[in-house]
Amino acid sequence: MKQVQGKVAFITGGSRGMGAAIAKRLSQEGANIVFTHSGKNPEKANEVLEAVKANKVKGLALEADNEDPNALQRALETALQEFGRLDILVNNAGVYIQKTIEELSLSDYDQVMDVNVKAVFIASQIAARHLKSGGRIITIGSNMADRVPGAGGSLYAMSKSALIGLNKGLARDLGPKGISVNLVQPGPVDTDMNPEKSDHAPFLKDFMTFNRYGKTEEIAGLVAYLAREESQFITGTSLTIDGGFNI
């Protein structure tokens, strides 16, 4: 049975990697999908949109970079105007800059915090005003909030650590309305941005009991579970999915 049939899901950064897998999986479960993309690769966005629509649901791809809060706000408003409701928000878009603390600039700081934290805050705030009982806010964090395996990850780890506090606070704020809020913290996942065949992959795989990267479909499966009615009692939780990376 399709457990999110007829619901509307809004996904940031849905044209590639985990975001694309999440859009496809939720559409397979019956959700209508709205996703944002940066506009840098419209062909990829169109491929995901066609895959979504192939599941006999409605789909909408909107160009909106998470660095631009006004664009993100307009995208959410467009989704609400188009569908008249919002049931599931997936904060997926993120950016990673690997530099040591001596190398980082304030512009690096602003970019990472704007995309990884500020945009999540803005989208969640707008969603909170429209979600009804049974609504979901699901944010993609990182297991680097708990463990930084090498040099150059301080800024990214800080941004993803901030999401833990935001997740708990949102769960407290929105629990009385029947809205569940959770954080998914993946470890290394095989994407075009972080391919399993990269030079540093063997170092990272040594941390994991399965000695492999995660698959985008595995992350999407956990997100789909959190979107279902059966997960209603899970809220304010950080769920790590990293193949034993943090053991």
* Pair 217, 28: CB distance under 8 Å: no
Between CA 230 and CA 148 the distance in angstroms is: 33
Angular region, 60: left φ>0, alpha ψ -120 to 50, beta rest: beta
The set of catalytic residues is 156
Fill in the amino acid letter for 192.
Answer: D
Between CA 230 and CA 188 the distance in angstroms is: 28
Between CA 247 and CA 245 the distance in angstroms is: 6
Rg over CA atoms, the chain = 17
* Pair 8, 85: CB distance under 8 Å: yes
* Pair 113, 104: CB distance under 8 Å: no
How far is residue 213 from each of residues 50, 157, 200, 202, measured CA to CA in Å?
27, 19, 12, 10
Q: For the chain, give me the number of helices (H) and strands (E)?
A: 8, 7
Q: Which of 11, 36, 6, 192 is CA-nearest to residue 89? A: 11
